[in-house]
Amino acid sequence: MLEHVEEPGLFLRKIAELSGPDTYIYVTTCLNAPAIDHIFLFGKLSEVEELTRESGLVIADQCVTPYTGKSIEECEAERLPVNVAYVMRKQ
């Protein structure tokens, strides 16, 4: 859902601000998946991870689903779509 937000960093910072120490935050997004309703485009997992840290959150768990038959590295290099889901917590 982060790809549908104009300012995902601001969005995540607000979630961190509203979250308590026992809060689990579920976030999904995609890499290299341009679409008419995707107003923010991530190209690499590291971009999402850095944005998460900068927002005051940590990734507790993740599910990364690269393009069929490709590795994450291949997807990033070839700009193929990757779906990701995160469980985040406040730092």
Q: Which CATH architecture has domain 2-90?
A: 3-Layer(aba) Sandwich (3.40)
| pLDDT score for 32 | 97
Under 8 Å between Cβ of 62 and 89: no
The pTM of the full predicted model, rounded to 2 decimals, is 0.90
| pLDDT score for 75 | 97
Under 8 Å between Cβ of 42 and 31: yes
| pLDDT score for 22 | 93
Q: What is the CA radius of gyration of the chain?
A: 13
Identify the CA nearest to 54 among candidates 4, 8, 3: 8
- Which segments in the chain show pLDDT lower than 50? none
| pLDDT score for 58 | 96
Residue 10: partners with Cβ closer than 8 Å, 6 or more residues away: none
| pLDDT score for 46 | 96
| Residues of the chain above pLDDT 90, percent | 98
